[in-house]
Amino acid sequence: MRLHHIDIADGAPEDELGSVSIAETDDPDSHQFTFEVGGDPHDTDRMASYGVVLGGLTDGGCIRYADLTEGVLTLEFRESTVRSFGLDEAVLRMRLEFEPGVVAALGRGLRTVFTSGPFDFRPVLGGDLAVEPGGQREVFLHFPDVEIAFDELEEIVERVVGDAGEVTGTGSGQTGGNLDIAIWGDVDLPALLRTLAGEFMDAGLPGGSEFHLVGENRRVSLRSLSGA
């Protein structure tokens, strides 16, 4: 899909942004996606999350991951949303044919939308939508008290992440353990987290264990990332 029109809430500071709209053409009858800022981050209702509107239909917290790289916006929708919106497939790629400054503004607006609302339903962000593109990102793994050695988990990180990051700390307590990971550079963070999630679960961590994406102030379970 090639887009030719953009509408970001005019004159609103980024922290007061209400919505971002993208349409195929200037024709008001063309397909238009509207991404709306969510509500209380501590709410547990998915419909209190950011909203996506298409053709008069609305769904909340319905994107698994979002990426903006070299002017191409990639969105992966939840399967339930694919059915309700009548999409052909879960992954939608849209080339944004705008000036670089407009694409950057769109990225800032989408990042504001996708980091709003309940933490549990925020998508994993990649590319220019990442909170600190190209910079260091902190990911904390939290897991319950299980029979597993930290050395085994650290070996998984070393194998999967390679030179793009490292384990910066470990710890354990009455509620379980944690593994702190620093990731840097222009890596495909969504793909990296998916691979780590699968490897950690294969090693014996429960699917309910969570990654805490510090920069996005969001938690996501290993099970939801792995698709298990």
Q: Which of 38-42, 165-169, 179-183 has the lowest mean pLDDT?
A: 38-42
DSSP states of 58-116: EEES-EEEEEEETTEEEEEE-HHHHHHHT-SSSEEEEEE-S-HHHHHHHHHHHHHHHTS
Using a pLDDT cut of 70, give the percent of the chain over it: 86
Three-class DSSP category at 195: helix
If pLDDT is split at 50, 70 and 90, which confidence band does 45 have?
Answer: confident
Average pLDDT for residues 57-67, to the nearest whole number?
92
pLDDT tens by residue, 75-129? 999 999 999 999 889 998 888 888 888 888 888 889 888 888 887 788 888 888 8
Confidence of residue 8 (pLDDT cuts 50, 70, 90): very low
Cα–Cα distance, 22 to 193 (Å, whole number): 28
In the chain, what are the domains? 2-127 (no CATH), 137-226 (3.30.70)
Nearest to 213 by CA among 113, 145, 138, 149: 138
Judge whether residue 206 has pLDDT over 60: yes
| Burial degree of 20 (CB within 10 A; 0-12, 13-18, 19+) | buried
Q: Evaluate if residue 52 carries a pLDDT over 60.
A: yes
Spatial contact of 63 and 125, defined as CB atoms under 8 Å apart: no
> Which pLDDT score, from 0 to 100, does residue 124 have?
84
Q: What is the pLDDT of residues 10-31, one digit of tens each?
A: 434 344 557 888 876 667 666 6
Computed over every residue of the chain, the mean pLDDT equals 83
